[in-house]
Amino acid sequence: MKKIAFILSFALIFSSLSACKKIEQSEVKVTSSSQTLQAENPVQTSKTTIAIASETTQSSAETSATAASVAETTTAAAQTKASTAAVKASTAKTTAASTTAQQTTTSATTTTAPVTTAATTAATTAAVTAVSQYYSQSSYTALNYDKQNAMWISYLEFQNILKGKTQAQFTASVRTMYDNCVALGINTVYVHARAHGDAYYVSDLFPWSANCTGTIAAEPSFDPFKILVDEAHARGLSIHAWINPMRGVKDTEIQQIPNRYLIKQWYNDSNKRGTYIVLVNGVWYFSPAYKEVRDLIIAGAKEIVSKYNVDGVHIDDYFYPTTQSSFDAAVFAQSGSSNLSQWRLDTISAMVRELYSGIKSVNSTVLFGVSPQGNVNNNYSSQYADVRKWCSQNGYLDYIVPQIYYGFKNTSQPYATNLQSWCDMVTAPGVKLVAGLAAYKIGTSESTGEWMNDKRILARQVETFKAQPKYGGVAFFRYESIFAPASGVAAQMEQEKAELAAVLK
């Protein structure tokens, strides 16, 4: 037995030495990345190293066939504690800021508070210390504009310019993309950082997106989000990290995710699969009624703000994916509420408020914005997004970008009428209104024909909003719709771009 123990000990020591060597090599790779116009967050390098160390330790442990089972078990336990620590430490640091924000917010009493479950596994002192350092406050002063001329840059764009591309190829594409935006008069970009419970940035909490390498959780050879941030700032563009907090990974991908990620741990747990994460139309969605789930969502936003010099965090309308009561029946049954709709509204509002205060606790200059559906009634009947509350009370968001994707002649939601309803709703002094416009509709046929026949419909929509005292800017969905349209739409889009450039400048 002593001989076996000696062999196992020697194998683990050898694995640790190998991990150290890999960490040193990884640090060289990270610190050699391109220069930025703004000073980098002073804790970013050490935080990136923590993420790399976690993965290389696990990888090196698996190199010893003799000690494989022992090393893997030990490493998995440590990583589970570290992941839990990241979420719990994030929540602890948010408490003071959240309390202050809530004290200054005049909010209606909710029907019931979201359910809090038992605490997860306690972390070791070392893990807590590492995570506390990891979430140190950022000294970066965010770059933002009084009036946003914004462009959504989606994960759909990344499928063309990132997947399978070299660092040089990706950087060249990003530079072209941003140069096009600046030429149009854009000053702000909403760039996908996490679209499906995955990451386009170095993360301890979420796996790398399959749009990076073609395989989910596979680490690319460079950090795409750092390039996106650096190149934006080099052109004076404000960059907001766009995340979808509730939309998780596809069912076809979840088996490929390593066990160190909480989403995989919840999937493996029969008590949390179907409750903490719920399968809807082939996608695993996070259920925000559980505090542990909201803790992960908020920690994910704080991680981005702590690691990268972003100027804002942005979420859109992926809230509840279904109106079916089965989505969160178990936790609703524990809530004591008899009104499912109001309970869900309160749950989403809690998540939005905690995102706001969590982001501010890391960097108070970073903005938080939400882009809900343009149809106000849909936000309440299907999304459970209490947009009236968020627009009228401080402490939920800095700006709101309703997706007013309607033409002037739309029979149910005409643009001018819908825009006015949003102007009337935004009454909180700390909230700005930005109108989301449907560039993707140019050249498409609708019953009114205006998206096909009106050669300056987007420009007219901008002009209409500019005449309003609540004008806080406009945002266009999305980049490829304007700069890489279908061949049949290209000529009309060129004319539209010329008109837009004139009204945006």
Q: What is the 3-state secondary structure (H, E, C) of 44-66?
A: HHHHHHHHHHHHHHHHHHCCCCC
Which distant-in-sequence residues (6+ apart) come within 8 Å of 136 by Cβ?
A: 43, 306
Neighbours of 160 (CB within 10 A): 12
Assess contact for 415 and 408: CB atoms under 8 A.
yes
Token pair of 191 as six digits: 């760039």
> Residue 315's pLDDT is what?
98
Stretch 460-487: mean pLDDT, rounded? 97
Q: How confident is the model at residue 477 (pLDDT cuts 50, 70, 90)?
A: very high
Among candidate residues 257, 239, 253, 356, the one with its CA nearest the CA of residue 297: 356
pTM for this entry = 0.79
268 touches 259 (CB < 8 A):
yes
In terms of Cα–Cα distance, which of 10, 19, 5, 132 is closest to 75?
A: 19
Segment 395-411, tens digit of pLDDT:
999 999 999 999 999 99
Strand partners, 273: 277
Pick left, alpha or beta for residue 228 (phi over 0 → left; psi -120 to 50 → alpha; otherwise beta): alpha
DSSP codes joined into one string, 323-373: --GGGGHHHHHHH--S-HHHHHHHHHHHHHHHHHHHHHHH-TTSEEEE--B
In this predicted structure, the answer to whether residue 47 has a pLDDT above a threshold of 50 is: no
Token reading at 419: 């825009």
Cα separation, 210 vs 503, in Å, equals 38
Residue 374 carries which side chain, given as an amino acid letter? G
Q: Which of 221, 244, 235 is nearest to 170 (CA)?
A: 221
pLDDT per residue as tens digits for the range 138-195: 899 999 999 999 999 999 999 999 999 999 999 999 999 999 999 999 999 999 999 9
User: What is the pLDDT averaged over residues 452-480?
Assistant: 97
Is pLDDT above 80 for 343?
Answer: yes
> What is the residue-averaged pLDDT of the chain?
81
The neighbouring-strand residues paired with 416 are: none
Confidence category of residue 446, pLDDT binned at 50, 70, 90: confident
- Which tens digits make up the pLDDT trace of 84-131? 555 544 444 444 344 333 333 333 333 444 554 443 333 323 332 333
Provide, rounded to the nearest whole percent, the portion of the chain with pLDDT above 90: 72
Decide if pLDDT at 16 tops 60.
Answer: no
The pLDDT confidence band at residue 496, using thresholds 50, 70 and 90, is very high
Residue 476 has pLDDT above 70, yes or no: yes
Domains of the chain (ranges, CATH numbers): 2-370 (3.20.20)
- Asked if the model's pLDDT at residue 225 lies above 80, the reply is yes
Q: Which residue has the higher pLDDT, 109 or 381?
A: 381
pLDDT band, residue 53 (cuts 50/70/90)? very low
pLDDT at position 438 over 70: yes
Residue 47: which of 277, 303, 252, 299 has the closest Cα?
A: 303
The encoded tokens of residue 329 equal 């029946």
